[in-house]
Amino acid sequence: MSINFIHTSDWHLGKKLFKESRLPEQEAFLSWLLVQIKKSNPKALLISGDIFDTPHPSSKAQALYYQFLKEAVDNSNIEIFIISGNHDSGRFLEAPIPFLKDRSIHIIGSLEVEKKTYSYHREGVSYHLFPYFRSHELYNYAREYFPEHLEGLNTNSSDTGLLLDKLIDHIFEIKEGNKNVLLAHHLFGNGELSGSELGLSLSGLDSIPLSLIKEKFDYVALGHLHNHQYLSKVDPIICYSGSPIAFRFSERKNKKINSVTLNSDIKVKEIAVPEFRKLYELKLNERNYKENLLELVKNQQDSFELESFLEVQISSDKPLRGISDEIRDLLQDSPIKLLSMQTRLIKGNELNEIKSRKKESTAEELFKDFYLQKYEGEKSVPKDLTGLFNELLSEARSEN
Ligand SMILES: [Mn+2]
């Protein structure tokens, strides 16, 4: 018997680029996804976290999500499995469960001490839902169910790894004879960041070792990293599906979802997500920018329904005045909107350069820049300080 499911993640509904909404592209993606579901008629849709961009998303973002869920289950026999990501509020995702579970939509948003079911067994396949959680939730859980492992524990990585191992054993029921599929949104192994992810770490542990999941699962459907990538291609297949749209100008644009078929073996068919809006990133200088921008306007295809977004960086050895207005004039009658314009002084002082370059930096990057400027001559931030900073950051974020 052959079983087919679709794996996607990191929709970040409601996310903005500078001040521009991405909801039109996100809506286009969800319509496209409905067509894919109709075409391949999969048994399940797996959404591996970061459904929304913020813990309490706008009503428009929520409306889009519920409209999608309704249309997906109304028009097919699909079951939908959803876990939270680091951007989601787990409790917020779980609140509508009483309505959704009768419609074959299953959500695990948080790791809680109360008993709940993390494994769903179907004919030939079991889905195991690992919600996003932070260290303190892991410790709470351990205190309740395996306190003996907390004795004499340091928050160093081998100990945290041990707790995670216990946790995986404790919450999941691995079914021999079935294909076992894991959904998760933590950092595993050594993935490649695209730059638009928020940093996350468990106390003392930067990423979860693959050895903790390798033996137990056949396919691992990950979320968090925004570039589509495999951590392992066989036994098991471990894959980050990536985000369906690029969130930064610099991010790779080849976005995908996975259509996975389980027989005696596992086949992954990657389906390319169309680009619904063009994002252009141009690095120019004061001599060539006009010519390049005119060229861009000339070659702009009309086939895109949504206007294009543009980021321009212009290097120069002297301050350039009025250049943003000039560029806006150049683009005036074109379907290209200038979202970000940075000038880079080649011989200017370094601070200005960092300021203009780091507009979209993560908190971790900004902290590093700040530290290196404050303590001249230092090459990196001491590890313990980074650890403390990350802890504070994750505390602040979980209060949202
Ligand atoms: Mn994400």
Angle at 153 between CA 150 and CA 159, to 5 degrees: 95
Distance between Cα 201 and ligand 1 center (Å) = 14
Task: Report whether pLDDT(350) > 60.
Answer: no
Least confident of 84-98, 251-265, 286-300, 344-358: 344-358
Question: Could you give the CA distance from residue 393 to residue 201 in angstroms, rounded to a whole number?
Answer: 10
Which protein residues have a CB closer than 5 Å to ligand 1 (ion)?
A: 10, 50
Q: Contact at 8 Å (CB) between 48 and 221?
A: yes
| Residue 10 CA to ligand 1 centre (angstroms) | 5
pLDDT score at 376: 73
pLDDT at 351 over 50: no
Question: Above 90 in pLDDT, residue 302?
Answer: no
Q: Would you say the C-alpha torsion 115, 120, 121, 127 has a positive or negative sign? A: negative
Give me ligand 1 centre to Cα 29, in Å: 16
For the domain covering 3-272, report its CATH number: 3.60.21.10
Does the pLDDT of residue 115 top 80, yes or no? yes
Residue of 337, 368, 383 whose CA lies nearest to 21: 337
Q: Which of 267, 270, 263, 80 is nearest to 179 (CA)?
A: 263
Q: How far is the CA of 49 from the centre of ligand 1 (A)?
A: 7
Mean of the per-residue pLDDT values for the chain? 90
Ligand 1 centroid to Cα of residue 325, in Å, is 34
* Cα-to-centroid distance, 84 and ligand 1 (Å): 10
Confidence of residue 400 (pLDDT cuts 50, 70, 90): very low
Q: What's the whole-number mean pLDDT along residues 282-296?
A: 92
* CATH 3.60.21.10 intervals, the chain: 3-272
- Residue 394 alpha carbon to ligand 1 centre in Å: 15
- Give the Å distances, CA to CA, from 1 to 119, 261, 283: 21, 10, 53
Question: Which pTM does this prediction carry?
Answer: 0.85
Q: Rg of the Cα trace of the chain?
A: 23
Query: What is the Å distance from ligand 1's center to 289 Cα?
Result: 34
Average pLDDT on 359-376 reads 79
